Amino acid sequence: MVAALTLVSGKLTCELEPSKILNFSSCIGRNRRGSEFQRRVEPYSLIKPIATIKVGGTADWVLVTEDAVWVASTKPFAILRIDPAINRIVASIRIAGEACSGLAFGFDTVWVPICGSNPALVRIDATKNALSATLRIAPAGAEGGIAASEDSIWMVTDQHGTLVRVDPSTNKVRQRILIPPGSFNPVFSGGIIWVTGIESSVLTAVDADSGKVLESIPVGSKLAFSRLVEVRFGR
């Protein structure tokens, strides 16, 4: 089988045989100048941890930004900022409850849905490592998601399929968009908000400019999460 990965440096095509997935493979691609290059892909069995960092009672949601790794932890409830250059916690920002439904980054902010008795959506100023706002907008469930587009933050807020669009300049709900019930996990790509529906077994596309529901596509049962994967080779 052939796996095609879209890279910052161009398109890389890997020839992978099902029986050799865990073995070494060579991938051929072209950089931005059109020159051909080769990369060696190593099996997971050779990937070893380089650091172990104690983060609290538990560690759950993880967000990677350009210069930090953000981890949701408990005991106490907090968002921890880790500097990957030194593999150390450089900031701990206390929050009022347990982080849930993912983490998102946008507008110099880490956006954190909180579950529990006082559900909310909180903003952490990434430039100051400090809580900057608490929005009384509750996530639909503990295993949902949150997404940042070019001008908004998106999160499903109930079991009925209410997708809210938050304006980061005002911290107010800009739109409420009805999508299939049981949809929970949004992801933004190419001007579209894609939302998986675990109960309705559909993937819903919403125009990120207008908020219009474009289509709900049947995708099979129990589709919980959607993810976009970008592979960087630094060339």
pTM of this prediction exceeds 0.85? no
Strands 130-135 and 59-64: unpaired
Does the structure show a pLDDT above 70 at 208? yes
Does the structure show a pLDDT above 90 at 47? no
CATH number belonging to the domain at 150-227, selected among 3.30.1450.10, 2.40.10.480, 3.30.230.10, 2.30.290.10:
2.40.10.480
Name, in order, each residue with C-beta under 8 angstroms of 79's C-beta and a sequence gap of 6 or more: 70, 71, 72, 73, 92, 93, 95, 99, 103, 110, 112, 124
Strand partners, 41: 25
- Report how far Cα 220 is from the mean position of its chain's Cα atoms: 22
Q: Sheet with 36-41: list strands edge to edge.
A: 2-7, 10-15, 25-30, 36-41
pLDDT at position 114, please? 98
pLDDT digits (tens, 9 = 90+) for 97-154: 999 999 999 999 999 999 999 999 999 999 999 999 999 999 998 989 999 999 999 9
Does the structure show a pLDDT above 90 at 210? yes
Q: Which DSSP symbol is given to 105?
A: E
Strands 36-41 and 59-64: unpaired
Binned at pLDDT 50, 70 and 90, residue 219 comes out as confident
Domains 49-139 and 150-227 share a fold: yes
Q: How far is CA 183 from CA 40, 75, 195, in A?
A: 39, 30, 6
Region 49-139: CATH code? 2.40.10.480
Residue 76: asked if its preceding bond is cis (omega within 30°), the reply is yes
Instruction: Give the residue-averaged pLDDT of 72-82.
Output: 96
Q: In the chain, where are the structural domains located?
A: 2-46, 49-139, 150-227
Q: How far is CA 215 from CA 15, 150, 151, 221, in A?
A: 34, 21, 22, 17
Does the structure show a pLDDT above 80 at 73? yes
Dist CA 123 CA 89 (whole Å): 19
Dist CA 30 CA 5 (whole Å): 12
pLDDT at position 98, please? 96
pLDDT at position 199, please? 84
Burial of 208 (0-12, 13-18, 19+ CB in 10 A): buried
